[in-house]
Amino acid sequence: MDKQEIIKRCVESYLRLKNLKLVGLEVGIPWQTVYVYLKREGIAVTGDKARYGSATDRIAIIGEQRFYKAVPFAIDNNNLQFQASVDFSVFNLTVDVKTSKLQHKKINTRSSDRWAYCINKQKDIADLFVFYALNDELETEHVFLMPNEIVTNATTISIPKSGKSKWFDYKVNENELAGFFKQLAA
């Protein structure tokens, strides 16, 4: 098999598997060589958090997929670059989507059931945050939309299930997201 055929197989395999190591094993070459060939061919090496990511990554992808379904004209930056600094670009805005599964209170503490989001890395670069609050069955219980200006002094956002929090002022219906972004672009 000539080099061009190997490169073609690498590209085809990577587009299907999204994993350098698995492509290397399938094609019979080191993953590093796969990487070199993909870069030369202009293929973005992004991986697949849904299949190969950590438990946290698999929760994160749920919110990202739901946001993209709600705002289909958004550009998914994770498809363009591995570990993009913000998840989406919508018109001229950067949007980071955070997802949290309900965290239950621990026995012998005063904490309540809550959703928690870490925004420390994105708070200086995202224009807007969309927070998905999932229940135990991974269904969307709430969606929150927060401008950067509102969260600029926070590194984490903790939202109690009780709703007794200033953050509940930013609760939105998921089906309103697309209209909101279209309004901003107008």
User: Which tens digit of pLDDT belongs to each residue from 75-124?
Assistant: 988 877 766 788 999 999 999 999 999 988 776 666 689 999 999 888 88
Q: How far apart are CA 111 and CA 162, in angstroms?
A: 11
Instruction: Report CA torsion sign: 112, 87, 38, 27.
Output: positive
CA angle 2, 7, 77 (to 5 degrees): 175
Q: How far apart are CA 95 and CA 141, in angstroms?
A: 20
- In eight-state DSSP terms, residue 165 is S
The DSSP bridge partners found for residue 173 are none
CATH no. of 54-185: 3.40.1350.10
175 or 59, greater pLDDT:
175
**The whole model's pTM is what?**
0.72
Q: b/e string for 71-109 if b means 16 or more Cβ within 10 A?
A: beebebbbeeeeebebbbbbeebbbbbbbbbbeeeeeee
pLDDT at 50 over 90: no
The packing angle between helices 55-70 and 177-185, to 10°, is 60
Q: How many helices (H) and strands (E) does the chain have?
A: 7, 8
The DSSP bridge partners found for residue 156 are 118
pLDDT at 56 over 80: no
Residue 67, exposed/middle/buried by CB under 10 A (0-12, 13-18, 19+)? buried
Q: Where are the domains of the chain?
A: 3-40, 54-185
Strand-pair category, 171-172 with 140-147: antiparallel
Residue recorded with tokens 């401008």: 147
Residue recorded with tokens 């989406």: 88
Instruction: Give pLDDT tens digits for 126-185.
Output: 999 999 999 999 999 999 999 999 998 889 999 999 999 999 999 999 999 999 999 988
pLDDT at 52 over 80: no
